[in-house]
Structure 1
Amino acid sequence: MRADRLVSLVLLLRQRGQLSATTLARELEVSTRTVLRDIEALSAAGVPVYAERGRHGGFTLLPGFQTELTGLGHDEALALLVAGSRRGAQAFGLGSALASAMLKVVDALPDNYRDTATGAAQRLLLEPEIDLLSRRRDTEEVPDAVMAAVRRAVLTGHRLRIHYAAAEKPPEWRTVDPIGLVTVREQGYLLATKSGEDRTYRLSRVLDAEVLTEPAERPDEIDLDRAWQERSTRFRTGGDQVAVLARVNPVRRKDLVGTALAVLSETEEDDGRLLMEATFQDARHAVWALWQLATNAEVLEPHWLRTTLHDRATAIVKRYGP
């Protein structure tokens, strides 16, 4: 445990610069006395850590001191940084880099740790391709060359030219300023701006991509989580939304809530069914969502949606009739 703590101490000083004994103790969850003993142990082992005296003093490493994992490439390091979710590495086109990086990490372990780690890894499985009902996840494939170009533009801060196929529209070339990449429920998105306006592109709809030489017009720093939340809010509240009033069987309430953009109202009727008003992205979204509920929902409004579902059900009956 002490060896792990010493490594963590060195990495903290490497990544954050000068830190006081109190700060180090808080980060490592030990006493300041333990930190001072660890500093002495590092100095004795030849690690160039020294103290800055005074009110704003602390401990720091000699400038230029490096701690490297030999042979770890840029993409491999990036893959490890997003490997909190292996699916994230896959979505960003870093799956092979992650596999390569993990081989190097395992190879760098001491012999006694390597056997233990590999044995333990065989007993942990994260997000297999199928569930207990043999249903495969709906993963979206993005060509490696396309994903590499998009990722390079995002990381280097260059403008990006993409051949994009929007829903129900012919593909067209667009020049954008990339901001970041986001993966949500197996789907990857490029956050960008176009002519100063926020744009969000689904990666599976990018048919081709080309990194341009001119720098992207974007802020130096970005709170990607906040940017995603803001775009999500605009997506739910804008566009050609459809409001639907329906009676819903309580056992399928969760399904409706999970597919709707928002639930505006909900009351329980005398027969136990729920009278719910919900909004959907557009007409196609509303038809799809209510059709999934079959007889567990009855659309009251709008009339065109009720008619559409009736016509679809009638066609099914006719197809399978005697």
Structure 2
Amino acid sequence: MRADRLVSLVLLLRQRGQLTADVLATELEVSTRTVLRDIEALSAAGVPVYAERGRHGGFALLPGFRTELTGLNHDEALALLTAGSGRGEQVFGLSSALASAMRKVVDALPESHRTTASEAAQRILVDPETDLLSRRLITKEVPDATMLEVRRAVLAGHKLRVLYAATGQEPQWRTVDPIGLVTVRDRGYLLARRSGEDRTYRLSRMQAAEELPEPAERPNQVDLDRIWRDRSAQFLADGHLTVHVRVNPARREDLLNAAVAVRAETPDPDGCLRLELTFQDAWHAEWSLWQLGPNAEALHPQSLRTALHKRATAMAARYESTVGDVT
């Protein structure tokens, strides 16, 4: 425990510069006296920690001091290597950078952890490209040059011009104020503002991009998780259809894959599931439920039940004659 705390103390000083004993104690969740003892232990071990006296004083490391990642334990190293096996970095064009970073992490690991962590990571697979039904997950690639410009603008806080092809429209240049990047199920999105209005752009629809020198009009601090939740809620509220369905649990995943979102899910006494789902429109809901045949039943709205009944009646009439009657 103490070895981990000493490493954390050094990393805090490296990353944040001069800190008081009280701040270090709060960050490390120990007493000030413990921090002072740890400082003494680091000094005795040759780590160049020095104290600045006075009202604005504190502890700091000599400029340029570096240390190896010898504080990583086995599980921490495994977590890093496993996280690096995910495919989210492909969406943002960071796969080569991640591979380089993982090599550096492995090289910096203590010898006792290097082999065991690497072997353990081979036994954990995150987000494979194919699921158990042999369906290949398709991720549309964003041109490297385009993704580089988008990333630079987001991180630098500059305005961004993008050649964007919205659904059913010809590509158009737009100038936006980028806020952040989000990846969901291998789809990448740019959260931005345009002319003061919130906008969400799918990265795969960007054909070109250019970082501009002008600063973006955006807050200095953002909560991307909250912003994404708010925009998702707004998206579901704009012109989508809410449907109540009973479904055979064996076909649940097929239905969820077809829907835009799941709002609620409860079991029925007979073993079926009741779902409240969101679809793009009435046609999308009708098509999705028709694929499941008798394994799903639309409960609401009545207009959807009527549409499915008409479709089923027409299909039954088409096949009413026997096979032998077909010429």
TM-score range, shorter chain: 0.7 to 0.9
> Does the Cα contact within 8 Å between 1:261 and 1:281 map onto a contact in 2?
no
Structure 1 position 293 matched with structure 2 position 295 = no
What letter corresponds to residue 159 of structure 1 in structure 2? K
Query: For 1:221, what is the secondary structure of its paired residue?
Result: coil
> Does the Cα contact within 8 Å between 1:299 and 1:305 map onto a contact in 2?
no
2:195 corresponds in structure 1 to 195
Deviates more, 1:207-216 or 1:190-199: 207-216
Distance 2:38 2:194 in 1: 52
2:215 corresponds in structure 1 to 215
2:74 corresponds in structure 1 to none
Query: For 1:13, what is the secondary structure of its paired residue?
Result: helix
Write out per-residue CA displacement over residues 37-83 of structure 1, whole angstroms, 9 at most, x where no aligned residue: 321122231412326577x97x42057455377xxxxxxxxxx8xx5
Residue 194 of structure 1 and its aligned partner are, at CA, apart by 1.0
1:175 corresponds in structure 2 to 175
Question: In the TM superposition, what are the counterparts of 1:58-137 in structure 2 within 5 Å?
Answer: 59-62=58-61, 64=63, 66-67=65-66, 86-137=86-137
Query: For 1:162, what is the secondary structure of its paired residue?
Result: strand
Alpha-carbon spacing, 1:285–1:14, altered in 2? closer, same or farther (3 Å): farther
Structure 1 position 242 matched with structure 2 position 241 = yes
2:48 corresponds in structure 1 to 47
Q: Tell me how large the CA RMSD over aligned residues is.
A: 3.9
Residue 243 of structure 1 and its aligned partner are, at CA, apart by 3.9
Alpha-carbon spacing, 1:288–1:220, altered in 2? closer, same or farther (3 Å): farther
Residue 113 of structure 1 and its aligned partner are, at CA, apart by 4.2
Structure 1 position 306 matched with structure 2 position 320 = no
Residue 159 of structure 1 and its aligned partner are, at CA, apart by 1.5
Question: In the TM superposition, what are the counterparts of 1:1-16 in structure 2 within 5 Å?
Answer: 2-16=2-16
Residue 308 of structure 1 and its aligned partner are, at CA, apart by 8.0
TM-score (normalizing by structure 1): 0.76
> Does the Cα contact within 8 Å between 1:91 and 1:186 map onto a contact in 2?
yes
Distance 2:189 2:215 in 1: 21
Residue 281 of structure 1 and its aligned partner are, at CA, apart by 2.7
Query: For 1:169, what is the secondary structure of its paired residue?
Result: coil
The share of aligned pairs that are identical, in percent, is 59
Distance 2:52 2:311 in 1: 74
Deviates more, 1:144-153 or 1:5-14: 5-14
Distance 1:278 1:109 in 2: 47
Write out per-residue CA displacement over residues 160-219 of structure 1, whole angstroms, 9 at most, x where no aligned residue: 111212222222222211110000111110001111110001111112212222222211
Distance 1:307 1:128 in 2: 39
Query: For 2:136, what is the secondary structure of its paired residue?
Result: coil
Deviates more, 1:277-286 or 1:136-145: 277-286
Residue 226 of structure 1 and its aligned partner are, at CA, apart by 1.0
Alpha-carbon spacing, 1:147–1:276, altered in 2? closer, same or farther (3 Å): closer
2:148 corresponds in structure 1 to 148
What letter corresponds to residue 12 of structure 1 in structure 2? L
> Does the Cα contact within 8 Å between 2:17 and 2:61 map onto a contact in 1?
no
Distance 1:173 1:37 in 2: 60
Can you give the 5+ residue segments of structure 1 that lack an aligned partner in the other structure? 70-79
Distance 2:236 2:214 in 1: 33
Residue 88 of structure 1 and its aligned partner are, at CA, apart by 2.8
**Number of equivalent positions:** 305
1:75 corresponds in structure 2 to none
What letter corresponds to residue 162 of structure 1 in structure 2? V
Residue 110 of structure 1 and its aligned partner are, at CA, apart by 4.4
What letter corresponds to residue 308 of structure 2 in structure 1? R
Write out per-residue CA displacement over residues 97-130 of structure 1, whole angstroms, 9 at most, x where no aligned residue: 0101111222233445433443333333333323
Query: For 2:142, what is the secondary structure of its paired residue?
Result: coil
2:71 corresponds in structure 1 to none
Residue 85 of structure 1 and its aligned partner are, at CA, apart by 7.5
Write out per-residue CA displacement over residues 212-231 of structure 1, whole angstroms, 9 at most, x where no aligned residue: 22222211221111111110
2:162 corresponds in structure 1 to 162
Distance 1:65 1:98 in 2: 25
> Does the Cα contact within 8 Å between 2:264 and 2:275 map onto a contact in 1?
yes
Alpha-carbon spacing, 1:32–1:265, altered in 2? closer, same or farther (3 Å): closer
TM-score (normalizing by structure 2): 0.75
Distance 1:316 1:144 in 2: 52
Distance 1:197 1:120 in 2: 47
